[in-house]
Amino acid sequence: MSSNCRHEHLPLGLPLLGCLPHLGVLGDAQLMAKRHWLDPIARRLLQATGHLPQDPVAAPPPGPDGHGDVVELELLSLKLHQNPWLPLPDEASVQRAAQLGVQLDVNRDPASQWRRLPGMRWQWIDQLLQLQRQGTHIHDLAELEKRLGVPPTLLRLWQPVLVFRLRGDRPRLPPLVDVNGAGRQQLSGLSGLNGVQVASLLRERQRGRFCSMADLQDRLRLPDSVMALLAGQLHCGRGPVPPDLPRRAFNLNPSVLPVSAKM
């Protein structure tokens, strides 16, 4: 650069403005933008003065039929092949899963399928499995909304993968475990509870029966993710029936009563 460009005390970036008239030709301008230690600033200044072309505008992302969506679809197909219970965390993944033929039968599929849907609550899973055990069929989205209270916006998000099959055998669901009567070994076999939580449940149960699943969650401070795993496995029954006291504990023969008791 020319020695006539005196810029020792100018603010950062301003020396370049003073030097631009001395560059003269586009080749010198391009050389400045490439070699100057302030390349980004030099480039912007040269673009603003017309000595360099503007940076190209980034192309918009591919649309639904673009190559990017095909790649995402193939990637999801591979993941589903490796894990058929793969969660579908958003609307795009639900739509792609529907394109791949994924279906969720409202009247038959287990809790593990329902947990895949975005926005699903454990209370809804529990209600759905109760309806399945009762043999109650849900016919359409409107009835699903009415029975569970799911917001319409969420139902529309799930709709691509939902089916309502009304014929066929009742789903085979495992027997429910009574949270008020099960022992440590049975509770430890449940999916979702670790050893610390089982111990906490047994201690808390001594203070009183669990009245509902919500009561269980509140008293044990279980997160929704754990409750979603427990949904469809537990119910809050009456607990163990106390055994009859041995007859010898009560002496009902008046002939052997103490004298004081006879008087």
pLDDT (tens digit per residue) in 30-76: 544 454 444 666 666 666 666 667 666 544 455 555 566 788 888 88
Q: Which of 124, 129, 144, 147 is nearest to 232 (CA)?
A: 129
Residue 27 pLDDT > 70: no
d(CA 158, CA 39): 50
Q: What is the pLDDT of residue 171?
A: 74
Across 94-111, average pLDDT: 93
Residue with the bigger pLDDT between 8 and 78: it is 78
The long-range contacts involving 8-14, CB below 8 angstroms and separated by at least 24 positions, are 12/38, 12/41, 13/38, 13/41, 13/45
Residue 223 pLDDT > 70: yes
Residue 259: strand, helix, or coil:
helix
Q: How confident is the model at residue 17 (pLDDT cuts 50, 70, 90)?
A: very low
For the stretch 135-168, pLDDT in tens is 889 999 999 999 999 999 999 999 999 999 987 6
**Rounded to a whole number, what is the distance in angstroms from the first to the last CA of the chain?**
128
For the stretch 165-207, pLDDT in tens is 987 667 778 889 999 999 999 999 998 899 999 999 999 999 9
Q: What is the pLDDT of residue 33?
A: 45
What's the mean per-residue pLDDT of the chain? 77
Across 6-11, average pLDDT: 45
% pLDDT > 70, the chain? 64
Residue 102 pLDDT > 80: yes
Residue 105: strand, helix, or coil:
strand
Which residues, in sequence order, are bridge partners of residue 177? Answer: 234
